[in-house]
Structure 1
Amino acid sequence: MSAQTDPRPRRSGRKERLAKRAAPPSVNPAPPGQRGGQYRPMSEADCAKIYAMALRLLDKLGMGEVPQRLWDVLIQAGARDLGNGRIGLPKALVEASIATAPKQFTFHGRDPARSIEVGGEAVHFGTGGAAVQTLDLDTGLYRSSTLSDLHDFTRLQDTLTNVSWFTRCCIATDVQEPFDLDVNTAFALLKNTTKPVATAFTLPEHVAPLVEMFDIAAGGPGEFARRPFVKAHISPVISPMRFGEDAVDVTFECLKHNIPVSCITAAQAGATAPATMAGFLAQSLAETLASLVMVNVIKPGHPMVFSNWPLVIDLRTGAFAGGGGETVLLNAASAQLSNWLGLPSGVAASMADAKAIDAQYGVEKGMTSLAAALAGGNLIYESSGMTASLLGASFEAFILDDEMHGQTYRVLRGVEVSEENMGFDAICEAVLGEGHFLGGAQTMAAMERDYVYPGLADRETPKAWAEGGAREAWDRANAKAREVLSGHHPNYLTPDQEAAIRARFDIL
């Protein structure tokens, strides 16, 4: 039948309707900051027992290898000399530090609209890591990470809605000098994003010069300290139960310049901490509390993320294992303990052992990140882009992980129960009318308000998928990453700011 003789009425606007349905909702149904804490792997009594053991360890065993300047302030605050170079932290000192520590604080973005509140029940996915290899977009194989990769990762994540903050995810292995590495890492963050960012300082003497860079970006001398938009990642405690002098000195410098800190404990079960779950949690909690005491005796009330990151090794081989069930459990339990103490919590998730963007990758990412979020981790580090047991970072993984986070935030949002949502009248209308809910007013409202729609996940029929090239998730994510990197070239520094930074520092 020709188009001229076809008696069927034409459906005007079909393409427009399909395009509208395919477009993402105008309002994000589940933005970052959803409420966590629904998953509690331990009882209240369990938390109390582990906390009591942590206090006992700090008081009786104490901390070793304490730098002299820290020793002096701890003794003055009420710590005890246990002999043999160890210092005991009494329960009263620990609990005074918990009471003094901020329970919430603002993690500023250079764009105030991108700032986030850390603490309470809010959950945010972000990044972390120090990958020395990058999964190449062209070859699909790993190679050494470069400074160019760091710039590319930073501007890629700048476009991702569900990544709340950015910490360098890879090490620029082509930058050899430690000071140049710290400088150029910080510059990549300032140039390519206005989200809250975090970095590390290799040595304490690097802090003051980099604050000069931050001041230039903030608008002048002293401006950064008024509204710090960079957080420091520091590991002042080395498991088992001792301090690290360089990291302690970096902490002193960061507090001096009003830089918020994430004091990260990264014990490994069966290696630097007990292999039993409860024993591990007790020691790791004690070590992170030691960092909290340190910060609060140096500068009471300074913003600190209580970053208790349980790590696991494969006890058969000694290899780091970032994606197993033990990692799921321990990081969820860590978040629960931190929240139980009322402290801003940081945990690690999505540290997939998988090298490829494959089924193993999906299982490990999904399990670890969902559990950490449900347990209420305020800041979930390593959760975007990391592969190969933290040795690798992937552009495709950033794209896919962002979509995963959106689905996780939807889970956290939960079910809103109200008379309107239960919809007695809507059910009656559908049952007595058309016999279905398609196109109903309640359905259309819920479609825009309550559902998160994937941009990359395939929901086509097998036939449509095959006709579209039978592309896998890796292929689709690769294409999306290329699209973003080819089109998104921000420069969040003014020409004068960039010129001032380049005049002061060796920007490579």
Structure 2
Amino acid sequence: MNAQRGKRGGRLERLAQRAAKPAVDPCPPGQVGGAYKPLTEAEIQRIYNTALDLLENLGMGEVPPRLQADLLAAGARDNGAGRLLFPPSLVAAAVDQAAKTFTLHGRDPARSIEVGGNRVYFGTGGAAVQTLDMESRAYRSSTLQDLHDFTRLQDVLANVSWFTRCCVATDVPDNFDLDVNTVYALLKNTSKPTATSFTLAEHVAPIVEMLDIAAGGPGEFARRPFLKAHISPVISPLRYGEDAVDVVYECIRHNIPISCITAAQAGATAPATLAGFLAQSLAETLASLVMVHAISPGFPMIFSNWPLVIDLRTGAFSGGSGETAVLNAASAQLSNWLGLPSGVACSMTDAKAIDAQYGMEKGLTSLTAALAGGNLIYESSGMTASLLGASFEAFVLDDEMHSHSYRALRGIEVSEENLGYAAICEAVLGDGHFLGGQHTYAAMERDYFYPSLADRDQPRTWAEKGAQDAWGVANIRARQILKDHHPEYLTPEQDREIRARFRIL
């Protein structure tokens, strides 16, 4: 009887141990990427040389006067036909003097991340104009309330390492009010590193005043900037966009780190051939880097070369394709080869529902980009419907998917202890199995990720629990988070001061 009681107690102890959170996270953000190399060294060199040829011989068109003066002073040449040409020496100087690593600060210092090198982080991006409603499971126009809800939802998701507003509040028609209220939603609901976009350059300075209030006083934000700007200063093919260039100048003036995004589309604004696409897209992202170099050498910039693909039969954007996967992986490889902090865009499923297409496309594209070593993988959380949609359920499902990706990146640690020679001998000469052994318990805590959403039950048990699909399980989890998590990252005094100076809706 005593032996039976002891055996039962041991089983209960093991069950409790399995249910508990691991003592060591087996797959934290920031795992090392770069093992997947879709391009050979010779192919990288040919693509880079073609990009240099494009910049030296074609250069950039529609250069705003202020930028033209700065580029000429830095070593660009005017071809006399409305284009500025960038000699290879100028490009090399921009790459050489670029910020290779820098910190993306969170308002909570513990949530800051170091960008660059070979570390991989998943985060968000996007400007979804539709939200997948949790009640009706139908798409509707995104609202400011959705943005607040998305921001506080992701605040508890460990694998979303920074948060860029994922949707556009379509119920805020005024552009200044939209920019202000977008940043306010970030300040109120998360202490992670954040990012936003500015519609016009004149919106930057007043929003920095709001950021200063949250940071503790005038000038405090610039000392430790916890928000970066997403800007697309290059319009494909090979010309600058004046409004976006103006935003770049203002962000640099206020010490706002920038992600300069090139988002060409294969077969539309860039060649349909993958190699030709990569050459043009690389040239355009280098043109952004040369621009920043001419304004302020070494200013923190994410080299965000985002190859986008369209379905050449219909012209529809194709975010979940194999071509998207390999192009963004190659982009990450090229950026890392240059030693620049890389940004790519993956996990942009074309699926509208949380279904098999959704899971296949997200898993394929996000893991490929991670294996290639993309430092910041944008659009990787919450996005659906070819970036037109955002989903609460998708956020929690993607967060769990990222854990699996990080576990794959972590790889296999080969050590004397892990090889388990003694444990194998003990099992063979003893009980004949490894269940309950200390070697197994140690690995269970250290080496394995246990999902909380993915179902691993037997079919009968799954049916007895209600036969929920992933969408249903994620809906329950998202609802629970939104019910329980109401952060207040602004003090009442800060909130009053912001509301006294801005129209907070």
Q: By the TM > 0.5 criterion, same fold?
A: yes
Q: For residue 259 of structure 2, give the secondary structure of its aligned residue in structure 1.
A: strand
CA distances 1:135-190 after superposition (whole Å, capped 9, x unpaired): 00000010000000000000000000111000000000000000000000000000
Question: Among residues 347, 365, 369, which one is paired with 2:366 in the alignment?
Answer: 369
Secondary structure of the structure 2 residue equivalent to 1:83: coil
* Equivalent of residue 404 in structure 2, options 407, 410, 413: 407
Distance in structure 2 (CA, Å) of the matches to 1:39 and 1:307: 19
> Alpha-carbon deviation of 1:82?
1.3
Whether 1:334 aligns to 2:294 is no
- Residues 13-49 of structure 1 show CA distances to partners (whole Å, capped at 9, x for unaligned) of 7555423312331321110000000000000000000
Compare 69-78 and 19-28 and name the one that shifted more.
Answer: 19-28
| Equivalent AA in structure 2 for residue 175 of structure 1 | V
Q: Report the AA paired with residue 59 of structure 1.
A: E
Identify the match of residue 253 of structure 2 among 237, 256, 266: 256
The structure-2 alpha-carbon separation of the partners of 1:8 and 1:48, relative to structure 1 and needing over 3 Å to count, comes to closer
**How many residue pairs get matched?**
504
Aligned to 2:470: 473
> Quick check: 1:24–1:453 contact (8 Å CA) kept in 2?
no
Which residue of the other structure, out of 117, 137, 141, is the alignment partner of 2:138?
141
Partner of 1:323: 320
1:390-419 Cα offsets, whole Å, 9 max, x none, are: 000000000000000000000111111111
- Secondary structure class of the residue paired with 1:37: coil
Q: 1: distance between equivalents of 2:11 and 2:54?
A: 69
The residue aligned with 2:385 is: 388
Are 1:207 and 2:204 matched, yes or no? Answer: yes
Gaps of 5+ in 2: none
Q: Which residue of 2 aligns with 1:280?
A: 277
CA contact (8 A) 1:313 1:321 kept: yes
Match of 1:127, SS state, is coil
Shift of 1:341: 0.3
- Equivalents in 1 of 2:123, 2:2: separation in Å? 56
Structure 2 Cα separation of the partners of residues 432 and 308 of structure 1: 57
Aligned to 2:494: 497
Contact 1:231/1:260, CA 8 A, preserved across alignment: yes
**Equivalent AA in structure 2 for residue 228 of structure 1:** P
- The aligned counterpart of 1:226 is 223
Q: Kindly state the Cα deviation for residue 6 of structure 1 after the two structures are TM-superposed.
A: 13
CA-to-partner distance for each residue in 1:260-304, whole Å, 9 max, x for gaps?
000000000000000000000000000000000000110111000
- Specify the alignment match of 2:235 in structure 1: 238
Instruction: Please report how far the alpha carbon of residue 12 of structure 1 lies from its aligned counterpart in structure 2 after TM superposition.
Output: 3.3
Which of residues 103, 110, 115 in structure 2 aligns to 1:113? 110
Say yes or no: does 1:19 pair with 2:16.
Answer: yes
3-state SS of 1:496 partner: helix
Moved more, 343-352 or 74-83: 74-83
Q: 1:268 aligns with which of 253, 265, 270?
A: 265
In 2, the alpha carbon distance for the partners of 1:6 and 1:220 equals: 67
Measure, in 2, the Cα distance between the counterparts of 1:450 and 1:361.
28
Matches of 1:15 and 1:175 in 2, distance apart? 55
Determine helix, strand or coil for the equivalent of 2:460.
helix
1:121-136 to structure 2, matched below 5 A, reads: 121-136=118-133
Structure 2 residue aligned with 1:62, among 41, 51, 59? 59
| Runs of 4 or more above 3 Å deviation | 5-10, 12-17
Unaligned runs of 5+ in 1: none
What does the per-residue CA deviation read over 1:368-391, in whole Å, with 9 as the maximum and x for residues that have no partner? 000000000000000000000000
Specify the code of the residue in structure 1 equivalent to 2:335: S
Give yes or no for the alignment of 1:295 onto 2:292.
yes
The whole-number CA distance in structure 1 between the counterparts of 2:82 and 2:211 is 38
Find the residue that maps to 2:203 and give its secondary structure: helix
Report the identity percentage.
Answer: 74
CA distance in 1, matches of 2:489, 2:341: 29
Output the CA distance in 1 between the equivalents of 2:493 and 2:293: 38
Q: Which SS does the other structure have where 1:321 is aligned?
A: coil
CA distance in 2 between counterparts of 1:426 and 1:250 reads 61
- Contact 1:268-1:310 at 8 Å conserved across structures: yes
SS in 2 for 1:320: coil
